[in-house]
Structure 1
């Protein structure tokens, strides 16, 4: 098949979160399965140009209809670690992608409405006719709308769209100006509940709803999160729309890249190890203590790696720090806050705990250090309020770092409680799970893990090895997406 991914991110050249990792990892898996894959991205001024090989102008005069005129664009082409990527650069006074940032501008809705229009115009004018367009999140929600309402009448009637939602919280809103700019125009037609009208604001168009309504198939990034989006407030108001299109909606678990996250080949860790030989993990634990100036004592290291914000259960992250110390464990945190108040709170904690030899708070993000923490820690806490898929628990499993997670989203699909899981045999269980978002629930799960580490070290090692045996690579998700693509290609 010929597949084109249209997205606002692709790691490592453009990465603000997990979306970039998914676009890159899935594309590589699809290519490994014999498909042709291309990726269309905005050409941001702040992206990592050092990760692009052979960047050159591939299409010089792309004129994208916009309002009552057209915007002149150049399309650049280059290879990002083996993936063929096209970067769209508009030449006009709006400077949509020359802002020094990927997101966070007051006109983000118009920036990505333009990108969606430009991506389709590029496919049309360059005579590219992929079998599948795979679009991601609200930024490309208008692609299936414009394909169905406009571009199918200009020679693109055979293209099918798979639309993946990574985070329901951000949906993309627009108004009449979006219709005027893109050429969709017909206000009365699109401001209808069964098309683009937001489910709760009759004066707004919802880009993500448009993606759901007009695409041939919709996925989100884990089976349990697909259920949550339909039946809980995690869908952020789109539950009814998802229910209406339930026949074309399912969850497909994300994968992780075992070329990057693999203790047998990881270039960022000093000692390699695997499921059969865990000696290297013990050596990495010593190296982690040396790096972070933690004392060398017979106690477990519990870690947290990720953003510090409400989604990630930041109140529980804070509590886990002190409960670990209370239980005579060590705690390592690596994360950056998304709000000033949270950042100042953790800066205060860092100063307060600075001289404690059993804790280290690293505020910010350090890719190299994250690998060493995964390799050296004994347990990782993931206490999220909601977690569409979650990558940290899957990486933790690969590195023999036992996950302690809350039972939400993709965490439910990947971590199975050692003591209480009824759906898996004892030899299939791989971590600890708690359900409520309060302190006693977190403490209970942490206590069970710490007690096993101290009292039954052989059983703890068995748990590590059971976790390391799981395959959360792109192998299975790649197979799932191929099946979805085949289904929508042949469905009338």
Structure 2
């Protein structure tokens, strides 16, 4: 086994903490892990001749080993060696790429702790990196609601550790296991407030305290357990405080990592009083100034997302269009001036999807499977889903277009347009299925009443609960998937829908604009046209776009079938481009000390 293979193996020793003082003592310094590269030491040429692979640009390499051969063959063998060697100089060798140890800090991971798309991205990006042979570890809180049945080898580590908060040291228990093949550590604070012993992941009155505690505890865990990642990749505001905390506390305590921050949504930012931030040990004195945290709008509040942006080595958001949108006063949620000052380290990368989890040919959630070449299973699933939900499927009803949506019911998702889409679809002779949940009382009440209104309707169903099997069946059964978002940093549901041959109808914003291109837009290349789009966030614009989709569905059935097959063949995986863009950012930032000028 190579040195790098040994380095990447998960061993029990990784779970035993090194005896190191906590970061309250800044004189504790641990050795930085040496970076190595992966490349073959030898190149196998013809006739079992081995040469070193370190030559390029015409530099010759000495012969390492030539097997014994009779004199009559030796001349021919040498000729073959020379010919192979000279030929290899004309072919570029695979580029050596470093392997990295990447630790993701997040508040969600699919499928064990999922609220929205963040969970899918953390899992998908982690798996894609691991498939490229990088060492990936993920740290999240140990929630009471954690689905431990989906965690392999789930266990509590024997050793505990302490972290600072509110002027005292608090004990933390560490659990570990594998989620979708990824090593995950779950931080379980023994804090009297029971920060994660709640019935939900978000929307607690002390969210700011909960997640700043978790952020500090995560860094302390890395320090005390002897982990020395090349990169710490943070996701969204709950762990954005890691960036300044690392730079002004933990970099001096022994950690030597670069900090990446991916912002999946700029709307929640972590705004609180100055005193609330000091609970996790941050003191405002040079070189850490108050204005690094001060909110751009509310001068008496701090903003941890803003500070995370300033102190990260690079920032990404989840689509190029959204990266441009947040530079404007309309889209920047008050952070546009900060982001404009950081454009040299700010990038937009469209998320990928896990095409092994989301695959209609093998999906374990589906009773029937289908491919672009054989769509029979999709029609069977459409009828079975409607029958299961008590909807009409006989006679003329069998041919009605089925419009669906799976979404969090929040203002960002255009809930008033979703409501309008249900009634418009019904008026145009279609059927509608909505699956979603809301933690906003007014919206929850409105959709609870709507679900009751349509409880026995033959053409409409509202399922206001989470059910992963139902979700997969909705994507597979639907004809049309509607996403009328007010803004959408990336969006994954339009990609899932296309993977399952369901045509997206979307508002042209953020990542939706980067992934869905209207079938009637002549200036867009034919091969890229894959759905229906509208610009204005109005009921009229959505209705008009749905009408175009209904017309094609009813009047052009063969064209519609071709569109289904076309969207199913689009590569929307992490390997299609996103993973290489992230690796370019990682490599430049670690090797050169700064991110690249471009990731294209």
Q: Which residue of 1 aligns with 2:421?
A: 320
Q: Which residue of 2 aligns with 1:383?
A: 484
Q: Which residue of 2 aligns with 1:154?
A: 253
Q: Which residue of 1 aligns with 2:350?
A: 253
Q: Give 1:322 deviation, angstroms.
A: 1.2
Is the counterpart of residue 108 in structure 1 residue 207 in structure 2? yes
Q: Which residue of 2 aligns with 1:207?
A: 304
Q: Which residue of 1 aligns with 2:141?
A: 42
Q: Which residue of 1 aligns with 2:468?
A: 367
Q: Calculate the TM-score normalised by the size of structure 2.
A: 0.79
Q: Deviations over 1:135-192 (max 9, x none)?
A: 0111111111111111111222x31011001111111123333443222212686554
Q: Deviations over 1:51-105 (max 9, x none)?
A: 2222333362312123433112222222223111111122232222222322222
CA distance in 1, matches of 2:441, 2:165: 37
Is the counterpart of residue 262 in structure 1 residue 359 in structure 2? yes
Q: Give 1:408 deviation, angstroms.
A: 0.9
Q: Any stretches of 5+ residues in structure 2 without a counterpart? A: 1-99, 594-600
Q: Give 1:487 deviation, angstroms.
A: 1.4
Is the counterpart of residue 222 in structure 1 residue 322 in structure 2? no
CA distance in 1, matches of 2:337, 2:103: 29
Mapped contact 1:113–1:178 kept (Cα < 8 A): no
* SS of alignment partner, residue 84 of structure 1: strand
* SS of alignment partner, residue 234 of structure 1: coil
Q: Any stretches of 5+ residues in structure 1 without a counterpart? A: none
CA distance in 2, matches of 1:24, 1:414: 21
Q: Calculate the TM-score normalised by the size of structure 1.
A: 0.95
Is the counterpart of residue 55 in structure 1 residue 154 in structure 2? yes
* SS of alignment partner, residue 56 of structure 1: strand
CA distance in 2, matches of 1:339, 1:132: 36
Is the counterpart of residue 86 in structure 1 residue 189 in structure 2? no
Match of 1:404 among 483, 502, 505: 505
CA distance in 1, matches of 2:274, 2:451: 48
Question: Within 5 A, what are the aligned runs for 1:131-142?
Answer: 131-142=230-241
Query: Max radius of gyration: which structure?
Result: 2
Q: Which residue of 1 aligns with 2:578?
A: 477
Match of 1:30 among 114, 119, 129: 129
* SS of alignment partner, residue 149 of structure 1: helix
Is the counterpart of residue 438 in structure 1 residue 538 in structure 2? yes
Change (3 A) 1:182 1:337: closer
Change (3 A) 1:169 1:326: same
Q: Give 1:197 deviation, angstroms.
A: 1.1
Change (3 A) 1:328 1:180: closer
Q: Which residue of 1 aligns with 2:216?
A: 117
Mapped contact 2:481–2:503 kept (Cα < 8 A): yes
CA distance in 1, matches of 2:572, 2:583: 17
CA distance in 2, matches of 1:118, 1:36: 21
Match of 1:20 among 119, 131, 134: 119
Match of 2:374 among 277, 286, 300: 277
Q: CA RMSD in A?
A: 1.7
Mapped contact 1:53–1:80 kept (Cα < 8 A): yes
Mapped contact 1:56–1:77 kept (Cα < 8 A): yes
Q: Which residue of 1 aligns with 2:430?
A: 329
Mapped contact 1:145–1:210 kept (Cα < 8 A): yes
Q: Deviations over 1:28-67 (max 9, x none)?
A: 1100001000111112222112222223333623121234
Q: Give 1:324 deviation, angstroms.
A: 1.0
Change (3 A) 1:352 1:114: closer
